[in-house]
Structures are given as structure tokens and as C-alpha cells.
Amino acid sequence: MTLWPTLRKAAVLTSFPVFLTACDPMLSIQGSFWPAWIICILAGLAASMVLMWQLVRYRLAPHLGPPLLIAPSLWALCTFAIWLLFYST
């Protein structure tokens, strides 16, 4: 029994993600190309800050739980929602 088929399969599987690195959508902002995920993270941060401010304003924040858990979760939710809204093709 030889190892070549197993090694060949492992080489193909490990080299496959290298070819997917060019699939990231790029945005041109003032002539500089930015990966779309950076824009989504920043937009998600801004949206989560506005939502957290609204929760504090309407006195709902104390009922949600520890802010150390709620704020990053809200940030992730907003980031993923923005990504799905604009880049789910």
C-alpha cells in the first residue's frame, strides 16, 4: 500500500483555499481598494453603536444581560447582516 494517493489528496485539499483568496469582493474607495469585509465590520460597528445607544435611551439595556456579552454580539449580528444584505450573491 502506497502513500501517494493519500498525499496527493491531502495536497489538493490543502492547496484549494489558496485559490479562493481571490474571491473576496474588493471596493474602490478614493482609488484605494479595500476588502469588503473591512467595510462591513466598520459599518456593523457603527450600526451596533446606534442600536446600543437606542437600547440605553429606551432603558432596555439593563434587561438584556451583561453589556460585555451584548455589545460584541450585537456588533457581530450587524456585521453579518450587512454582509448578507450587500454581498449574498
Q: Domain map of the chain by residue range?
A: 36-89
Per-residue model confidence as pLDDT tens digits over 18-58: 665 556 677 777 777 778 888 899 999 999 999 999 999 99
Per-residue model confidence as pLDDT tens digits over 2-18: 666 676 777 777 766 66
Q: Which three cell numbers stand for residue 88?
A: 449574498
Cα–chain center distance at 61: 24
pTM of the model: 0.66
Helix, strand, or coil (residue 89): coil
Distance CA 49, CA 70 (A): 11
Q: What is the DSSP string of 24-88?
A: S-EEEETTEEEEHHHHHHHHHHHHHHHHHHHHHHTT-GGGT--HHHHHHHHHHHHHHHHHHHHH-
